[in-house]
Structure 1
Amino acid sequence: MEVIEILREASNRIYENVKDLAGTEHAAGDFGRGAGGDISRNIDIVAEKTVLDYLKEINFECIVLGEECGRVELSDNSKGYVIMDAIDGSANAVRGVPFFCSSLAFATENKLSSITDGVITNLVNGEMYWASKNKGSFFNEQRIKVHDNDPIYKIVGINISGATEDLVRRFLPIFEKHNHLRHFGANALEMAFFARGLVDIFIDLRDKIRIQDIAAGYLIVKEAGGLLLDADLNPLDSDLSYETRVSFIAAANKKILDEIMSQIDQ
């Protein structure tokens, strides 16, 4: 079985196991802090167990890097890394806000740039975004591209959750000039929306994003033709360490990148 099919099946199983859990009293609970640093909730634990059980069932030889479970070595002869954020947008999922997803990616080496396959599934409705390296990005079975024309409404995504006062101040010119700013609370799904052409640029300069949050989105955005850069406007790359935190900008093209970045106070 191809790696992308394994990730897609694992994602489908997550959806089946959590679709009726979100927003209920059974979604929450406090299981301590996971490997990524956040409080693990029951819905997170159910979703991760679903993936781990499936990978063991098919004897997929890999090292899992999970948001909650940490590093789990499923083989002494690993083919690579499954980078898993089984529930991205846990706060939304626990409260029942209909915007959360699963994010699964596969990397052959300990680098973001070595990712070969990625799947993001909208866990509210089962819609799936997926990509394999050099094969394009897809929404369900339809090929997708970033929005590369002049949009009717320019939609700018900015994540400022927990941002410093200084960073918020730098964004003030954008707040003043753009009427259509968005952040929905699940970076992976927002990257998928961007890849589908629903958002024109997405910015997160907080230096807080974990690799699990963006691994699948990294490939899906690139295969959809988007620019994916770090805070210094260099191509985004990093190791897969749990200590690593990144900032990133996903832009549909250089024109909108230059326009929006020129409005951020340095």
Structure 2
Amino acid sequence: MEPMINIALRAAREAARHIVRAYDRPDLVKTTEKGTNDFVTNVDREAEQIISDSIRKTFPSHAITGEEGAKTEATRDSDYHWVIDPIDGTTNFSRQIPHFCVSVACMELGKLKHGVIINPITQEEFIASRGRGAQLNGRKIRVSNREKPEGGLFASAGSYRHDRFEGHSKTVAALVNAGGNYREPGSAALELAALAAGRIDGVWMHNLALWDIAAGCLIVQEAGGLIGDFEGGLTHLKSGNLVAANPRL
């Protein structure tokens, strides 16, 4: 395992432990609304600080961007950029629904290099490094081999906003009419990880931020999945709109 993925894994594990302690003490969790259906807790900010401090200690020249405001500019001699989502699925976390994760990605010259996703409750650790495959708790994972939507399981994220709900509903209806099954569990990163592990067969996501999808996109690709934007291009990391599935679908 490369040193940088080890650093990412160590930082994410430390944050995950902090999150679990807070999860067991909901009276200590303070939730505020950032926007419509978009929440943040004090634990998000604390976990992000843990991760960014850990990365900064080892790689002081690297750029860091976190969902909750962590920001460090790269020095001139560094091509690396870390992208952090301390709790992807904050609403689930704040309501004690055990479907949320820590997501950490590292990019080199704008390309995904390493990705780590940890579910603090189940202790599942999904990791990938470019060109080295994807793993779940030390075991190689691959996307499913399903060839048709019929009987398949699909998930989405980012569809809760009113301005895109009508189109989303039509997509779900078309999928169900084709014999597929649909879920929206509430964590984009974990849905991508589930796709990489072959647990679900495809995902589509709307207007998400880079920190929501960066680690998951790399893990899916390294597990043999295909990812693109809604027009079949490769702007998904910038637009936040993506479709991903195994190659047979």
Same fold (TM over 0.5): yes
Counterpart position of 1:230? 229
- 2:126 aligned residue (129, 134, 139): 129
- 8 Å contact from structure 1 (residues 118, 132) kept in 2: yes
- Residues matched between the structures, number: 242
- Report the equivalent of 2:46: 46
CA distance in 2 between counterparts of 1:94 and 1:2 reads: 33
* Higher strand content, 1 or 2: 2
2:144 to 133, 142, 147: 147
**Cα gap change, 1:237 to 1:176, in 2 (>3 Å):** closer
Q: Deviations over 1:170-207 (max 9, x none)?
A: 43222333352111100001100100000011112x3x
Change (3 A) 1:238 1:99: closer
In structure 2, the residue matched to 1:242 is none
Q: 1:226 to 1:49 in 2, by over 3 A?
A: same
Distance, in Å, in 1 between the alignment partners of 2:172 and 2:31 is: 36
Alpha-carbon offset, residue 70 of structure 1: 4.4
Gap regions ≥5 residues in structure 2: none
Q: CA RMSD, aligned part only?
A: 2.4
For 2:137 and 2:235, locate their aligned partners in 1 and report how far apart those are by CA, in whole Å: 26
- The aligned residue for residue 242 of structure 2 is 248
Q: Secondary structure at the match of 2:231?
A: coil
8 Å contact from structure 2 (residues 92, 186) kept in 1:
yes
Farther-moved stretch of structure 1 (69-78 vs 40-49): 69-78
Partner residue of 1:21? 22
Deviation at 1:164, TM superposition (A): 2.9
Kept in 1: contact 2:84–2:105 (CA 8 A): yes
Higher helix proportion (structure 1 or 2): 2
1:209 has 2:187 as partner: no
Q: Corresponding residue for 1:69?
A: 69
TM-score (norm 2): 0.88
Structure 1 unmatched runs, 5+: 240-244, 257-266
State the identity %: 26
